[in-house]
Amino acid sequence: SLQLPLETCETLNGSWGFNIKDDRFKSVKSVIHYLVNAAGRNANLLLNVGPMPNGKIQTEFSDTLEKVGKWLTLHGQSIYGTRGGPAPPQDWGVVTSKDKKIFVHILKYPEQDSLPVPGIRGTVERCYQMDGGRKISFKQEGDHLILDLSTGLPDPLDTIIEIETR
């Protein structure tokens, strides 16, 4: 089936061009969530920065972009070159995948200790939290993978569970 390419178009505040009165700056967390949600939906993220009349970028923008860049240095393999899925977007976040790795991006950490992730086929070899490599217990039930989050630590930006399949 023919799919139209998706794109999310956003600004780092509320204006497409420079506006000295616009102080509705997006947080680092908000920009990372836009990026992760775009990747999990097979979309491109167009993020606009309106330069000042002298051509410089406001420090509010450059600081945010630098922090997002540092996040990508650590977590970029869960974004760059990935495709959305195999699970469709969920209330708690999105899933990206590349080769035999699946990345579960938990943007809204659940209150319960178990997280069902649909659409995971094949044999799961291991699951671990991307930050620190903390092992995450799991069980497979049909095409659902049930992650045990009781041993994980919520990340305030994006808790990423890396799954290796065979």
DSSP 37-48: HHHHTTEEEEEE
| pLDDT tens, residue order, the chain (166 aa) | 566 678 889 999 988 988 889 999 999 999 999 999 999 999 999 999 989 999 999 999 999 999 999 999 999 999 999 999 999 999 999 999 999 999 999 999 999 999 999 999 889 999 999 998 899 999 999 889 999 999 878 999 999 999 999 8
Tell me the angle at which helices 28-40 and 59-75 cross, rounded to the nearest 10 degrees. Answer: 50
Classify residue 151 by its DSSP letter. Answer: G
Distance between CA atoms of residues 60 and 25, nearest Å = 7
Before 86, cis peptide (omega within 30)?
A: yes
